[in-house]
Amino acid sequence: MFEKVDKNYRKEGTRQAAHVCLFARSNDKLWDKHPIRALVNMHMRFDGKIGFPGGLIDPGENTETGLNREIMAKIGLDLGLIESDWVYAHYSQEKKIVLHFYCKEIGLEAFCDMEKNVMSAKEFGIELLGNIRVPLYTYLNNDKDICGLPQFLNNNFVGNARNQLLDCLILKQILTTEEVDKAIEQAKSIKT
Predicted pLDDT of residue 192: 62
- Three-state DSSP class for 87? strand
Report how far residue 154's alpha carbon sits from residue 135's, in angstroms, rounded to the nearest whole number: 12
Continuous H helices in the chain: 63-75, 108-117, 149-152, 161-171, 177-189
Report how far residue 110's alpha carbon sits from residue 103's, in angstroms, rounded to the nearest whole number: 15
Look at 91 and 192; give whichever has higher pLDDT.
91
Give the confidence band of 81 by pLDDT, cuts at 50, 70, 90.
confident
Domains annotated on the chain, with CATH: 3-135 (3.90.79.10)
Of 135, 125, 132, the residue nearest 37 (C-alpha): 135
Residue 174 has pLDDT above 80, yes or no: yes
Mean pLDDT of the chain: 90
Report how far residue 62's alpha carbon sits from residue 41's, in angstroms, rounded to the nearest whole number: 24
Report how far residue 45's alpha carbon sits from residue 161's, in angstroms, rounded to the nearest whole number: 12
Report how far residue 115's alpha carbon sits from residue 125's, in angstroms, rounded to the nearest whole number: 14
Residue 183 has pLDDT above 70, yes or no: yes
Specify whether the CB–CB gap between 99 and 2 falls below 8 A. yes
Q: What share of the chain is helix, strand, coil (3-state, %, to 5)?
A: 30, 30, 40
Residue 191 has pLDDT above 90, yes or no: no
Residue 73 has pLDDT above 80, yes or no: yes
DSSP state for residue 58 in the 8-state scheme: P
Report how far residue 163's alpha carbon sits from residue 109's, in angstroms, rounded to the nearest whole number: 27
What confidence tens digit (pLDDT) does each residue in 20-46 have?
999 999 999 888 888 899 999 999 999
Of 41, 60, 52, the residue nearest 99 (C-alpha): 52
